[in-house]
Amino acid sequence: MSQANDAAGPTASNMKPVQVKLVLLGEAAVGKSSLVLRFVNDEFQLNKEPTIGAAFLTQKCRLEDKVIKFEIWDTAGQERFHSLAPMYYRNAQAAVIVYDVTKASSLEKAKSWVKELQRQANPNIVIALTGNKVDLVANRKNRTNNDGEVDEDGEQDAQEIDDDEEDDEDYAITRQVPTEEASAYAQESGLLFFETSAKNGQGVAEVFTEIAKKIPLEHILSSSRGARAGGANGSNGRVDLQNGANGQRLGGQQEKGGCAC
């Protein structure tokens, strides 16, 4: 990604965006909506209500001499909405499959989504496996390193641990999905791999930047220019089934030197 200078600004603004349909998939409560809200609006909402069906958002970013418009379908993670997923990942050029690093079962669900996309989606789809909520395990690690004495066996004083847990329940959350395990699976399956925190923004912009680099933009440009990926109309309010206020326009379609987040 390169920064756009003042002279290049008007030119970049006049560029016709390359539309890239992207779908978010994953188990409920892994933070899919929070990830996309961080990318689009650079904000985080505590206790965000679950998505119903799917929400549609857009965001622009600049990659070298092209402007990319991500048309993002944020799908619901509840099992009862699983049958709707094909209508959102059909013809998608990219997918972000999200799991929770503190919940091992969410990685198994992510793997099932990978298999489904590899069977049924666009054969050239770029898939990014993304482990979210690393801020929770970072909190625990920092608490142990900074506030507690750890012996040679890695054991901390029991009373001190009890006191810590009473002070802040977040520090009791442990990582259930090792980075090495998920990374090895992603490499074996031909996926991009990231770990993120939607809460503090760690790694979020990188997910979309690296996806943009992998998308065959020239192929998209050479295909039917009049066709819109997935039939979206470019408004963040266009959804099929969604959660209340999520249907409002979420975030400006910004153009920056790198992917806006």
Banded model confidence at residue 65, pLDDT cuts 50, 70, 90: confident
Listed residue (196, 204, 193, 218) closest to 64, CA to CA: 218
pLDDT tens per residue, range 68-82 = 999 999 999 999 999
- Share of residues in the chain with pLDDT > 70 (%): 67
Do 13 and 255 contact (CB within 8 A), yes or no? yes
Q: How many CB atoms lie within 10 A of CB 185?
A: 17
Domains of the chain: 9-132+197-247 (3.40.50.300)
Q: What is the DSSP letter of 156?
A: B
Q: Residue 208 burial (CB < 10 Å; 0-12/13-18/19+)?
A: buried
Mean pLDDT estimate for the chain: 79
Supply φ then ψ for residue 223, to 5 degrees.
-80, -175
Q: How many CB atoms lie within 10 A of CB 102?
A: 19
pLDDT, mean of residues 16-37: 96
Of the candidate ranges 94-98, 186-190, 238-242, the one whose mean pLDDT is the lowest: 238-242
